[in-house]
Amino acid sequence: MPLNEVRRLRLQSQILRHTALFYQKFPPTESAKNALATTAENTTNPFELLPGEDISRKVGNYVTFTRCELSADGSRAKLYVSIWGDTAEKRRVMRNIRRQAPQLRASIARNIRMRQVPQLVFLPDLSFDRASRIERLIDAEKERGSP
């Protein structure tokens, strides 16, 4: 039986928020802690001091859950994950996230009122990579002098 749109959107928001809080309890790696600590000495936002590619080289596995899409019947939730780091690091972090999925699903069952707990599918969010690529293309076009 399909969920009504308002309930589906509310559940998507709750699942996304709960997922972010669930994975937040795991400690960051030393590289992430050190990079953010050395950057954050005089500012409340360490990311404003470094260009994006510089911080992504320093912070190995900074993870952000960007979006949740719940199917119409509520049986499947796609969670999009943005991970900073190289390809091997992204694969390793995604594998660890997927390994914790049964515990997350149990936590969702305990904390979010739902008739059926959805199967969780974690997908990489490539929107930041695409935006960065488009920005580089625009900058390259400006350098060539095209209007």
Give all strands of the β-sheet with 119-124 in edge-to-edge order. Answer: 63-70, 76-83, 119-124
Whether the model clears a pTM of 0.75, i.e. scores above it, the answer is no
Domain of residue 100, residue span: 5-143
What percent of the chain lies above the pLDDT cut of 90? 27
pLDDT of residue 59: 47
Average pLDDT taken over every residue of the chain: 78
pLDDT of residue 13: 92
pLDDT of residue 40: 47
Q: What's the CATH code of the domain at 10? A: 3.30.300.20
Residue 136 vs residue 85, higher pLDDT: 136
Rounded CA separation 17/21 (Å): 6
- Give the chain's radius of gyration (CA, Å): 18
User: CB–CB of 121/79 below 8 Å?
Assistant: yes
Number of domains forming the structure of the chain:
1
Which whole number is the average pLDDT over 50-79? 73
pLDDT of residue 109: 92
Q: Confidence band (pLDDT; 50, 70, 90) for 92?
A: confident
User: CB–CB of 85/61 below 8 Å?
Assistant: yes
